[in-house]
A and B are shown apart, each in its own frame.
Chain A
């Protein structure tokens, strides 16, 4: 298996622009997680899905952030409009029920 795949690996955008981050989980995993990592706040859980359904989005910072999972093999995290404080590394992870999480390589987002 190729592992969790994220794209793009790096994204540089200007404040106010829409940003879309993509994730392909490991086949057969029924949980998908989006995390954000910064030096100041460490690793934060933003949202997670079970069988494509959002279960807990309490970590989503504000309405500018939205996440979807239209099918078992694809998820997006969208920021609209983006702000400089959104600059971070965004990780996607997936797992089976009761098992460990597997993380993607991350997307490094820079908003100028």
Chain B
């Protein structure tokens, strides 16, 4: 079985400081992993994806994530938070060999001025 756990339901940072949103997954096989962002009253937008190529994945808006198989983690980072980064972030695991995509519970990022 596969699952995904977002370790923090809410993260608050100050503008200009680093962002770390944590995600751990469990999967019997090599998964594909994604991060989505949802701004208030908007749909979900793909931020970045890992599909067994480079373990460090760069996404939009300066975000990146590193796939660490030994730690079964796929944490999302950004060096310097911007006010516009305030949103809900979802980590998603997908097994290519089946059609099951599991969404994490989401992490709400607050950015303080």
Q: Which of A31, A43, A93 has the most C-beta atoms of chain B within 10 angstroms of its own C-beta? A: A43
User: B46 in the interface, Cβ–Cβ < 8 Å?
Assistant: yes
Verify B106–A106 contact, CB threshold 8 A. no
Tally of B interface residues using CB under 8 Å: 17
Verify B43–A91 contact, CB threshold 8 A. yes
Verify A43–B90 contact, CB threshold 8 A. yes
CB neighbours (8 Å) of B105 from chain A are 42
User: A12 in the interface, Cβ–Cβ < 8 Å?
Assistant: no
CB neighbours (8 Å) of A34 from chain B are none
Verify A101–B101 contact, CB threshold 8 A. yes
* Bound-state Cα–Cα, A43 to B105, Å: 8
CB neighbours (8 Å) of A93 from chain B are 44
Verify A103–B34 contact, CB threshold 8 A. no
* Bound-state Cα–Cα, A104 to B42, Å: 9
CB-based nearest B residue for A42: B105
CB-based nearest A residue for B102: A45
Verify A43–B103 contact, CB threshold 8 A. yes
* Bound-state Cα–Cα, A109 to B112, Å: 31
* Bound-state Cα–Cα, A100 to B94, Å: 9
Task: Write out, one digit per residue, whether chain B residues 11-32 have a CB within 8 A of any chain A CB (1) or not (0).
Answer: 0000000000000000000001
Task: Write out, one digit per residue, whether chain B residues 68-100 have a CB within 8 A of any chain A CB (1) or not (0).
Answer: 000000000000000000000010001010010
Verify B44–A48 contact, CB threshold 8 A. no
CB neighbours (8 Å) of B101 from chain A are 45, 101
- Least CB distance from A105 to B in Å reads 5
Verify B43–A105 contact, CB threshold 8 A. yes
CB neighbours (8 Å) of B99 from chain A are 31, 48, 50, 55-56
* Bound-state Cα–Cα, A91 to B103, Å: 14
* Bound-state Cα–Cα, A104 to B56, Å: 28
User: A61 in the interface, Cβ–Cβ < 8 Å?
Assistant: no
Interface pairs (9), CB distance under 8 Å: A48-B99, A50-B99, A91-B43, A98-B96, A100-B46, A101-B44, A103-B36, A105-B42, A106-B43
A-binding residues in B (CB < 8 A): 32, 34, 36, 42-46, 49, 90, 94, 96, 99, 101, 103, 105-106
